[in-house]
Structure 1
Amino acid sequence: MVEEIEGETSGLATEGEVLRSLPKAKTRSRGKDPSVPIKRRCVTTACIACRRRKSKCDGNTPSCAACSSVYGTECVYDPNSDHRRKGVYKKGLDTLKTRNSTLQKLIQAILDYPEDEVPALVREIRTCESLDDVADRIVARGNGMVEEKGGHDPNYTVDGQSDQRTFESELSGKMGELWLENGCRRFIGGTSNLILLGNEDSDDRFSGVTNSDQSEQLDDATRIASWTTTTSDVGLIIHLVTMYFTWHYPYFTTLSKNLFYRDFRLGNPPEGSRQKTTYCTPLLVNAMLALGCHFTSHPGGRADPDDPTTAGDDFFREAKRLILVNDEHEKPKLTTVQALALMSVREAGCGREAKGWVYSGMSFRMACDLGLNLDSGGSNLDEQEVDARRITFWGCFLFDK
């Protein structure tokens, strides 16, 4: 039986033999056999006509199949008209580089020009039709290719604007002037009869008196501690003032640091003294100390050492007392404007915005009363006072923003 099965299986062909016996299939060539579909190549840029028709374009040159065979239209390729292409990006980048170069030239000119020539340059920039032309003139002037008359000298006018500005300045000067009252400058309008009065006692009561003569007998600790009655700890006072100038002053500059420290080291003049400290007063120091308490964890800066929400309360309370006792709101002074601005920031920072607006409003109104918003460059003020007034005005402007 087994022999019969083996004989039958030996007569059968294996699977490999069957496959080898089949005829080999002929390989087809895609390029030669039209029945095999040809894969459409990717076209990066279609012709203008196909883009308008929103039809597929094969990208052939000089004419695509759709334009030549189907529609019979003119076939034009314009890569720059496609805003998605790299060429358009490069063109936009070149435009930005050119504009950036022009702006850099203008800014550098403003930084390098003399102070008296900058206003004329700024007016020309504001009124010109092309900033590139102004930049070219600046470069030409730097190369010595233009005459000074055509440059940006103070006498150079653009459509008579310089003459008009001078006329306006003279007219505004006729309408009012800065008035010295109790050692402080105030702006008096043209309708006020105070203009008719003289300034005989303007600075006479301070003549012959120097700050050093009045303070040479006091030691440094006594001078510094004389600015506030809230504490006698000189180390704490210096620490809080340092905190103010370190963390608040760089961002909101409302006073001249050098002038403040000059008078701060002299101490508070005794009552009845003829000593004059123009840029430092107890009100300003206490407002500064109240604000400086919020930048330190020193327990002396808090009314309750265990309650951080009471930081600066004692110094702020002293500042409010000085305003009422000395009628500071009735006697405009530069330091009062500065102190009210600091008190405004402190109250707003404590979440009492309504009170902050009250103090800021008093500060801004007093600044206008002192004429800080006016150009005092042509007045008889010294350079230090003009600089201090400008710093305070722009500080108030920044607070208001």
Structure 2
Amino acid sequence: MACDQCFRLKVRCDAASPRCANCNKLQVECTYLRPDRRKISKLAVTNLVERVRLLEHTLQQHNIPIPTSIRSSKTTAISFQNLHCGSINGDTQPFSEPLMYTKENDETQLARERVLIERIDRSSSLTPGLDPEIELLVKRTGSLQFTDHGQLKYFGATSNVHFLRDTIPFQVRAPDAPPSSHEKDKSPSESSLLEYISPATPSIPRELEDHLIKLYFAWENPYFRVVDEDAFMSARRRVLSRSNQEDDLPGPFCYSEFLVNAMCSWGALFTDRELPDLPSLHDFFISQAREKLERDLDNPTIATVQGLAMMSGSEASRGRDSRGWLYAGMASQVAHHLGLHMDVGHYVRSGDITQNEATLRDTTFWGTYVIDTAWSYYLGRLVRPVVNVNRNPAQTPSQTRSTQSQYWENYTDDLADLPNYRGQYVDPVASMWKQQLKLCFIMERFQNTLYDKQTSSIGQLRMHTSAVTWALDKWMDELPSDLAVDCDSISNIYLPHVLVLHAQFHEAMIFANHPFITEPRTGNGHFGLLSLQTQKKCTESARKISQIIRMYDRLWTLRRMNIQFIHPMFTAAIVHLYVACTTSMHRLDQYKSAISDLRTCCNALRDVGKYMEIAVWQLRSIDRIRQVWYDLLENHAHGMSDAPILSEQQRLLSPSFNVDKECDRWTAIETVIQEAVSLTNTNLLLKEHMTWYDAWMQIQDTIGMDPFSVGFA
């Protein structure tokens, strides 16, 4: 039987003890937590379930409360075995007694922060002989990691996944989209969804297509705004009203079937409507868009750029980040190919093109630029937008927009047939464009700083990040009133894309002040001098994101959300996790606030994960990071005993150390995360409509361990 790591990598395992050859090469723990299917008996499982039910019934007969389910993991196991402490109930507070703040408590917290950062810095070694300062920069700004498919991928600092280091990051096993016609000819047996595809393409009702397009314009386009809605709808009406004799004529440059299918793939994520002949509207439209793209690439238009930009996010929403990354790059390159990055005012004045076409070119280019920047932060990879090498850039949409008011409509499934009940709100499009591009320029500047080879020390990096922090503060100070958000308000109404803009700002502020990026090397005598200021910026922004999540849920619900909001949730959750696992137990307010905000972020990722698998991947990555950080902070058998922390004996004798509280800290953290993770698995079970045994086996493959051990049975 292969070990867990070899099973995930799909490689041969020699089953050597205590560690197989592959695990020894990767320097990871060699475990066999996954049950051996060859030894699994359905009868044995059934008997076990019946026995558990009998025990529960016996407890109920004697009025004994059934214990709450404890989701065991490596973290909890170590806590119970080594510290001999109990878990907390999810409905009670982990700590109740008042504790006094002392200087020693503050030093204890600083020591935990220092230990975690140093051990992350030392957790892997790069090229021998490399300058230590350069090596530190390289490790803090990204890492190569094996995926579940055994391939190396690069994840940068802003991806948050680089925290896992040698641990394989969890990736959603999203089903492939239905193959296009030429893909079916090549490998029909490789697609798990091929059985749902009929020989003839199903006919999509016009009413449903219009509905999905409206959902796209209501919930996804307002933030990236790569498509001008008025121009698109006008072109669509012209194309659909043409006679059969005119079908062979070229369509408008801002309309194509590829673009329509890309839009509908987004709308399908925001609707609960279904077609009986199709298992997934989203997968169907993705398949159709891939097929239509082949024709568009021979003679690309503005619609091709727009469709590629949409496809990048639509593919990413299902956990297919490689396809999404490539589509985003294609959109940028085709935009360059069409010269969308250039100012075409001269051609407007000469009458060669209309002002409307020039405006569409500008909108498409800058919308693609915003998407490019978003991808740069999502994966932590430096991109080189065309704007950097252009001496005559395209006009920004805020420069060319008319003064006529525009409106955003709260369009949903429930309100589709009730136009009188849809809320309409003034949409500050010009202000949004102006401030969004300013923010993207600052974010791009920060990314360039992270990966610039001229930055040769943490000290230089801190100088740059301080400048970025100042620029971000200035951006917020200059924010116009129509984009201002009061996170403490419970009565004001803010548009969804305005809330996403603020979440993006706070995420940028987090990265500019992130301790794992900017903190000096431990032992140089300067650790912590700037920590209070930077950590305050970092934690305050993370808390603001949690407040924005709650505000978004109250105003619009989390059922429909722009994909750009997901990564700030992930980033904020990592900060809350960091605060929760390093804060002194004598700072109860700070600790409880971190736990509460962590729960907000994890639950939001769980809810969004019901229709965007990317959120599930990030939620489970948080759980993996929790396990890694626990090992670094609490498990002293990991070979780093020379780190500058108190010895085990000193820790136990210290008046500020309490065994029960240290255990409760991690149990509370694990409970918050596992509650969200377990519900995503339950949703998967209900969605697939499988028998309970098949579902049990699928969950086992998904989480990589026995479902009984984590409370599913």
TM normalised by structure 2 equals 0.22
Please give the TM-score of this superposition, normalised by the length of structure 1.
Answer: 0.39
Looking at both structures, which has the greater relative contact order when contacts are Cα pairs under 8 Å and sequence separation is at least 6?
Answer: 2
Q: Which has a greater percent of helix?
A: 2
Larger radius of gyration: 1
